[in-house]
């Protein structure tokens, strides 16, 4: 087990900078997720940690050891791949034993540890099977057992769930969490699935074009996104350009007033400086609808464009008068969920909605 310190790592591919001076500290035993769309550099960062890519600048430390120039096979890592990467000519047992044999572990101990590892992922009965004879979920369990059985200093997982079907994905989340918690191993998990990231991580690093856009707990990222990119990526908020000014900068939640659809509304500032180029972050589920009424604070009038009934909630698309479109989601328990397309409504924007720099 070890902490990971990434110190100003730079990585370029044929002149294109993929990681820009990126720093991140992952404490011993923590579960960190690198989240972002494809091309944001998350896999590149993971592969730098693994040693498959040599960074063009910066340092990488496992605890106090500088491993920047250490080759992969001397780094003592465990890695789980997107396509499982099981050796096709070896049985589940031999796949799991591979790393132990490379470490010259004594035969009886190999048998014992592989047996334990397979049992822990619930595959004792399939030890003699070849990868081709197993389902996707089973293969992923073997891959997990193979990475963990060597008791690596860090565990690296590259979109390990993306090749599984939806149901198996949920199941494997628990399997992975149980195993890494039990082993107390430092884990870096790469995914583009925000729900997966929220459900599994101690901390999430949202990446954008080779840098970390925001690092925080799942609650931080959902509740207090620092910019439009993060807000849009996690939970797909309404991100609406507004002109804003900070009224009262003192206190933990600085008060802001902003212009939207001809009205002036109250909000909370998410950035230290705001101007005409700011954005309002309004999550559809935080907004609510009401029939038109005079003098309602923080309300904007609009017309219902479309209503989609989704069972546990109802999603609306509203065209604001003299303003943009906005999405509103009402929970099934909400009694007013009965507006029809064409109805005029008022959209209530909570006064604690965040306004951040664009």
Partner 1 sequence: MKIHWWPWGVLTLVSLVLLSFFVLYPLAVLFGNSVVDDGGGYSLAAFLALARDSEYVQAFKNTLVLGFSVTACTVLVGVPFAYMVARYEFPLKNLVAVLPIMTIVIPEIIVGQSWLLILGNNGLLTNFFADLGIELPSFYGWTGMVFSMTLVYYTYIYLGVLAALRGFDGQLEEAGLSLGTSPLVTKMRVLVPVMLPAVLVNALVVFTLVVGNFALSMLLGSRVPLLSVMTYNTFVSEMGGSPALQSAMSVVSIAIVAVVLFFQKRVVERKVYTMTQGRAPAPVRVRSAAGLLFTLTVGLVILASLLPLVVVFIGAFTETSGPVMRWGSWSLSSLQRALHAAPEPIINSLKFSSIATLVGVSFALLVSYLTIKKRNLFTQALDYIVVLPLTISGTVLGIALVQTFNTGWLVLAGTSGIMVLAYTVRRLPFAVRNASSTLFNIPESIEEASISLGVSPLMTFFKVILPAMRASLISAAILMWVTTISELSASVVVYTGGLETMPITIFRQVDGGRLGLASAYGAALVSVILLPIVVAIKVFRINLFSSK
Residues that bind partner 1 (CB under 8 A): 14, 50, 52, 54, 71-79, 81-83, 85-90, 98-99, 102-103, 143, 146-147, 150, 156
Least distance to partner 1, CB of residue 148, Å: 11
Least distance to partner 1, CB of residue 112, Å: 18
Q: How many CB atoms lie within 10 A of CB 294?
A: 6
Least distance to partner 1, CB of residue 266, Å: 52
Q: Considering the complex, state which of residue 82 and residue 298 has its C-beta at the smaller distance from partner 1.
A: 82
Least distance to partner 1, CB of residue 254, Å: 47
Least distance to partner 1, CB of residue 146, Å: 7
Q: Considering the complex, state which of residue 84 and residue 339 has its C-beta at the smaller distance from partner 1.
A: 84
Q: Considering the complex, state which of residue 147 and residue 328 has its C-beta at the smaller distance from partner 1.
A: 147
User: SS in 3 state form for the chain?
Assistant: CCCEEEEEEEEEECCEEEEEEEEEEECCCCEEEEECCCCCCHHHHHHHHHCCCCCCEEEEEECCEECCCCCHHHCCEEEECCCCCCCCCCCHHHHHHHHHHHCCCCHHHHHHHHHHHHHHCCCHHHCCCCHHHCCHHHHHHHHHHHHHHCCCCEEEEECCCCCCCHHHHHHHHHHHHHHHHHHCCEEEEEECCHHHHHHHCCEEEEEECCEEEEEECHHHHHHCCCCHHHHHHCCCCEEEEEEEEEEECCCCCCEEEEEECCEEEEEEECCCCCCCCEEEEECHHHCEEECCCCCCCCEEEEEEEEEEECCCEEEEEEEECCCCEEEEEEECCCCCCCCCCCCEEEEECCCCCEEEEC
Q: Considering the complex, state which of residue 142 and residue 265 has its C-beta at the smaller distance from partner 1.
A: 142
Least distance to partner 1, CB of residue 163, Å: 12
Least distance to partner 1, CB of residue 328, Å: 39
C-alpha span between 358 and 348 (Å, rounded): 23
The CA-based angle 155-159-164, given to 5 degrees, is 120
Q: Considering the complex, state which of residue 88 and residue 294 has its C-beta at the smaller distance from partner 1.
A: 88
Handedness of CA 195, 329, 341, 241 (dihedral sign): negative
Q: Considering the complex, state which of residue 64 and residue 74 has its C-beta at the smaller distance from partner 1.
A: 74
Q: Considering the complex, state which of residue 148 and residue 300 has its C-beta at the smaller distance from partner 1.
A: 148
Least distance to partner 1, CB of residue 56, Å: 10
Q: Considering the complex, state which of residue 79 and residue 300 has its C-beta at the smaller distance from partner 1.
A: 79
Q: Considering the complex, state which of residue 64 and residue 73 has its C-beta at the smaller distance from partner 1.
A: 73
Least distance to partner 1, CB of residue 139, Å: 12
């Amino acid at each position: 087990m070890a902490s990971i310190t990434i110190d100003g790592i730079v990585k370029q591919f044929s002149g294109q900078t993929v990681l820009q001076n990126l720093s991140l500290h992952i404490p011993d035993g923590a579960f960190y997720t690198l989240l972002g769309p494809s091309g944001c550099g998350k896999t590149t960062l993971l592969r730098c940690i693994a040693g498959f890519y040599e960074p063009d600048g910066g340092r990488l430390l496992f605890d106090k050891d500088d491993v920047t120039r250490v080759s992969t096979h001397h780094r003592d890592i465990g890695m789980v791949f997107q396509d499982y990467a099981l050796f096709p000519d070896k049985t589940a047992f031999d796949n799991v034993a591979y790393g132990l044999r490379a470490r010259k572990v004594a035969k009886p101990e190999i048998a014992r540890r592989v047996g334990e590892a397979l049992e822990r992922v619930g595959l004792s009965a399939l030890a003699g099977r070849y990868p081709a004879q197993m389902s996707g979920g089973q293969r992923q369990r073997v891959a997990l057992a193979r990475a963990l059985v060597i008791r690596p200093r860090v565990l690296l997982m590259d979109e390990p769930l993306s090749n599984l079907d939806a149901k198996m994905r949920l199941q494997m989340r628990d399997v992975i969490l149980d195993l890494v918690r039990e082993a107390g191993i430092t884990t870096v998990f790469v995914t583009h699935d925000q729900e997966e990231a929220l459900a599994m991580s101690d901390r999430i690093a949202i990446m954008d074009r080779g840098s970390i856009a925001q690092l925080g707990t799942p609650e931080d990222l959902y509740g207090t996104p620092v910019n439009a990119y993060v807000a849009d990526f996690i939970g797909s908020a309404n991100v609406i350009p507004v002109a804003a000014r900070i009224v009262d900068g003192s206190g933990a939640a600085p008060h802001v007033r902003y212009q939207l659809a001809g009205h002036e509304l109250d909000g909370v500032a998410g950035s230290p400086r705001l101007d005409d180029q700011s954005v309002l972050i309004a999550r559809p589920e935080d907004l609510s609808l009401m029939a038109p009424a005079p003098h309602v604070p923080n309300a904007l009038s609009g017309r219902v464009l479309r209503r989609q009934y989704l069972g546990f909630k109802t999603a609306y698309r509203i065209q604001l008068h003299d303003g943009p479109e906005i999405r509103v989601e009402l929970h099934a328990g909400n009694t007013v969920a009965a507006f029809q397309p064409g109805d005029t409504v008022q959209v209530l924007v909570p006064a604690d909605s965040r306004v951040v720099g664009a």
